[in-house]
Amino acid sequence: MCGIVGYIGERNATPIILNGLKRLEYRGYDSAGLAVLQDGHIEVRRDAGKLSNLTALVENSPIAGKLGIGHTRWATHGEPSARNAHPHLGSTKQVVVVHNGIVENFLELREELAAEGVVFNSDTDTEVIVLLVERFLGTGTSLEEATRQALRQLKGAHGVVVFSALEPDKLIAARIGNAGGVVIGLGKDEMFIASDIPAILDHTRTMVFLESHQMAVVTRTSYSVKNLDGSPVAPQEHNIGWDPVAAEKGEYRHFMQKEIHEQVRSLTDTLAGRVDFDEGTVRLPQLNLTTEQAKKISRIIITACGTAGHAGMVGKMLIEAIARIPVEVDIASEFRYRNPIVDENTVILAISQSGETADTLAAMDEGRKRGAKLWAIVNAIGSQAMRVADGYISMQVGPEIGVASTKAFTAPLVDLYLLAVLLGDLRGTLKEKERKQLVADLRLVPDLVGRCLDREPEIVQVAREMKYIRNVLYLGRGTNMPIAYEGALKLKEISYIHAEAYPAGEMKHGPIALVDRDMPVLAIAPDDPWYEKMISQIEQAKARGGSVIVVATEGDTRVEALADHVFWVPKTPWLLLPVITVIPLQLFAYHIASLRGLDVDQPRNLAKSVTVE
Count Cβ atoms below 10 Å from residue 331 Cβ, excluding itself.
15
Q: How far is Cα 112 from Cα 39, in angstroms, rounded to an integer?
A: 34
| Interface of this chain with ligand AGP, residues 338 to 367, rule: CB under 6 A | 352-354, 357, 360
Helix or strand holding residue 435 (H, E): helix 432-442
Q: Give least dist CB 535 to ligand AGP, A.
A: 30
Q: Give least dist CB 601 to ligand AGP, A.
A: 11
- Inter-CA distances, 555 with 83, 447, 560, 564, 570, Å: 60, 18, 8, 16, 9
Cβ proximity to ligand AGP: between 214 and 360 the closer is 360
Provide the mask over 277-306, with x wherever binding to ligand AGP is found by CB under 6 A and - wherever it is not.
----------------------------xx
DSSP 558-600: HHHHH-SEEEEE----GGGHHHHHHHHHHHHHHHHHHHTT--S
Please give the torsion angle defined by the CA atoms of residues 142, 144, 145 and 148, in that order, rounded to the nearest 10 degrees.
150
Tell me if 147 contacts ligand AGP by CB under 6 A.
no
Q: How far is Cα 238 from Cα 247, in angstroms, rounded to an integer?
A: 19
Closest among 181, 198, 239 to 361, alpha carbons compared:
181
Cβ proximity to ligand AGP: between 342 and 401 the closer is 401
Clarify whether 2 is annotated catalytic: yes
Tell me if 581 contacts ligand AGP by CB under 6 A.
no
Cβ proximity to ligand AGP: between 411 and 453 the closer is 411
Cβ proximity to ligand AGP: between 126 and 307 the closer is 307
Of 47-55, 139-147, 202-210, 602-610, the window that binds ligand AGP (rule: CB under 6 A) is 602-610
Tell me if 582 contacts ligand AGP by CB under 6 A.
no
Q: How far is Cα 208 from Cα 231, in angstroms, rounded to an integer?
A: 18
- Give the binding-site size for ligand AGP (rule: CB under 6 A): 16
Q: Give least dist CB 406 to ligand AGP, A.
A: 8
Name, in order, each residue with C-beta under 8 angstroms of 469's C-beta and a sequence gap of 6 or more: 497, 520, 592
Burial 260-276 (b: 16+ CB within 10 A, else e): bbbbbbbbebbbeebbe
Provide the mask over 474-503, with x wherever binding to ligand AGP is found by CB under 6 A and - wherever it is not.
-------------------x----------
First to last CA, the chain: 11
Tell me if 601 contacts ligand AGP by CB under 6 A.
no
Q: How far is Cα 446 from Cα 488, in angstroms, rounded to an integer?
A: 24
Which residue in the set 307, 346, 410, 602 belongs to the binding site for ligand AGP (CB under 6 A)? 307
Q: How far is Cα 252 from Cα 102, in angstroms, rounded to an integer?
A: 36
Q: Give least dist CB 592 to ligand AGP, A.
A: 15
Count Cβ atoms below 10 Å from residue 611 Cβ, excluding itself.
28
Helix (H, G, I), strand (E, B) or coil at 71: strand
Q: Give least dist CB 286 to ligand AGP, A.
A: 18
Tell me if 396 contacts ligand AGP by CB under 6 A.
no
Cβ proximity to ligand AGP: between 43 and 259 the closer is 259
Clarify whether 608 is annotated catalytic: yes
Closest among 232, 169, 223, 226 to 193, alpha carbons compared:
223
Tell me if 609 contacts ligand AGP by CB under 6 A.
yes
Which residue in the set 405, 480, 581, 611 belongs to the binding site for ligand AGP (CB under 6 A)? 405
Cβ proximity to ligand AGP: between 120 and 242 the closer is 242
Which residue in the set 548, 610, 611, 612 belongs to the binding site for ligand AGP (CB under 6 A)? 610
Catalytic, out of 316, 407, 490, 608: 608
The dihedral sign for the CA sequence 285, 286, 288, 291: negative
- Inter-CA distances, 124 with 80, 196, 300, 414, Å: 10, 23, 41, 43
Q: Give least dist CB 446 to ligand AGP, A.
A: 22
Catalytic, out of 2, 226, 305, 373: 2
Q: Give least dist CB 506 to ligand AGP, A.
A: 22
Tell me if 404 contacts ligand AGP by CB under 6 A.
yes
Q: How far is Cα 559 from Cα 564, in angstroms, rounded to an integer?
A: 9
Cβ proximity to ligand AGP: between 164 and 195 the closer is 195
List, by residue number, the catalytic residues.
2, 608
Give the binding site for ligand AGP (CB under 6 A).
305-308, 352-354, 357, 360, 403-405, 493, 606, 609-610
